[in-house]
Amino acid sequence: MALNEAAAGTLLRTALYDEHNQLGGRMVPFAGYEMPVQYTGIVEEHHAVRQRAGMFDVSHMGRFEVHGRGAARFLRYISTWDMTRLAPGEGHYSAACRDDGGILDDIYVFCLEPERCLVVVNASNAPKMKQWMQDHIGKWDARFVDRHAATAMIAVQGPEALGRIEGVIGAEFVRSLKPRRCGEAEWRGQTLFASRTGYTGEDGLELVIDAGAGPDLWRALLDVGVQPAGLGARDTLRLEAALLLYGNDMDEETNPWEVGLDWVVTLDDGADFVGRNALAGLKERGVSRELVCVKAVDRGVMRSHCDIFRDAETVGTISSGGYSPTLGISIAMGFVPPELAAEGTELKVDVRGRPLAVRVVPRPFYKRSKPA
């Protein structure tokens, strides 16, 4: 069989690179960084996050701050959701679109202070987004501050995540963070950012700290029993939660209406933002394809780029697919025409020449049970 591990080449390393090596992490190139795909095994790490608590080095994701009186208005101009609604301590997911409505990136914006926001962007889009934000910021009373290389970011996720983090950064601070809220505290003399967000479908926090203190924070989390998890588990977890992955489930040729991101597009505030007119027009015309969740009926694993067909006619493409450790079967997201998007629709997916029977299922595949 072919076992391809691409050569490392000139890749960037996060502040936690030595920690990954020490833990036996298997390093692979990802979005220009050398990142751990797994430590002990993807399935084990996946279950650790679903059942206990796991942590991911997400320092490769871009972190930019916007300072100044016009910070929120600038961020509203470059993103589809009305960021001027954010009060300090609040965050919201959003998209940044081109003039034609194509998605440049999906982003998370946190309001830290009235004149200071943190923007988290995809690693693969960080250089593009930095350039794009800098190109647009001039008109606004706002300043762009690149915090990417200067900080480390750790996502701690799982039903036991909050309880374990309390032992590291303090119960009072952790308990003050409601879902999607954020805040800053001091940890060992450094400013620690925390938000009650994540990309796994579990509860948890995402932490940002000065790069120099990143390894200390990572080790402190290890000491309270948080299990390191790699990019492999991050992908299986986010797929079960039906969370979108830029580059797979959306790109510049995709608009928010096609991928169920209606809830991050604010049109009713009348404010001008990049892509507004195109998005309003696209909404009016309706979509020609929709992203749906499909679940295999038989054995076989759907992967991205597999064709979706019905009655021997190709009707769409899988954008993200894989094996669900929680469900024990293959799951995927893919684009189909709206008339084939209804729950229960039976389709076939071409898995390397063989038809795999699948069914359109509700989104997401996995939803955590709410604590009593």
Using CB under 8 A as the criterion, which residues of the chain lie in contact with other proteins when the complex forms? 1-5, 37-38, 41-44, 232, 236, 299-301, 303, 322-323, 325, 352
Least gap, CB of 239 to other proteins (angstroms): 11
Q: Are 332 and 302 in contact (CB under 8 A)?
A: yes
Nearer to other proteins, 58 or 306 (CB): 306
Minimum gap (Å) between residue 330 Cβ and other proteins:
8
In angstroms, the CA 157 to CA 227 distance is: 10
Cα 356 to Cα 6: distance, rounded to the nearest angstrom: 30
**Nearest residue (CB) to other proteins, 41 versus 338:** 41
Residue 302 Cβ vs other proteins, minimum distance, rounded to whole Å: 10
Strand partners, 194: 183, 207
**Count of residues making up the chain:** 372
Residue (7 or 372) nearer to other proteins, CB:
7
The string of DSSP letters for 210-263 reads: EGGGHHHHHHHHHHTTPEE--HHHHHHHHHHTT---BTTTB-TT--GGGGT-GG
93 or 365, CB closer to other proteins?
Answer: 365
Q: Record the tokens describing residue 25, joined without a space.
A: 């992490």
230 touches 40 (CB < 8 A): no
At closest approach, how far in Å is the CB of 267 from other proteins? 40
Nearer to other proteins by C-beta: 188 or 354? 354
With tokens 């691409």, the residue in question is 6
Whether the CA torsion 16, 23, 2, 42 is positive or negative: it is negative
Q: Where are the beta strands (DSSP E) in 15-174?
A: 26-30, 33-38, 54-57, 62-67, 91-97, 103-113, 116-121, 143-146, 151-157
Closest by CA to 318, choosing from 356, 367, 371, 284, is 356
CB of 363 to other proteins, least distance (A): 21
Give yes or no for a contact between 70 and 267, defined as CB atoms under 8 angstroms apart. Answer: no
State the minimum distance, in angstroms, from the CB of residue 327 to other proteins.
Answer: 11
Smaller CB separation from other proteins, 62 or 322: 322
Cβ proximity to other proteins: between 142 and 306 the closer is: 306
Indicate the residue among 44 and 65 with the shorter CB distance to other proteins: 44
Minimum distance of other proteins from residue 169's CB (angstroms): 32
Q: Which is nearer to other proteins, 266 or 320 (CB)?
A: 320
Strand-pair partners of 346: 359
Look at strands 151-157 and 182-187 and give their pairing: unpaired
Q: Do the beta carbons of residue 82 and residue 266 sit within 8 Å?
A: yes
Q: What tokens does 200 get?
A: 């796994």
The CA distance from 134 to 295, in Å, is: 42
- Rounded least distance, CB 272 to other proteins, Å: 44
Q: Least distance in Å: CB of 50 to other proteins?
A: 14
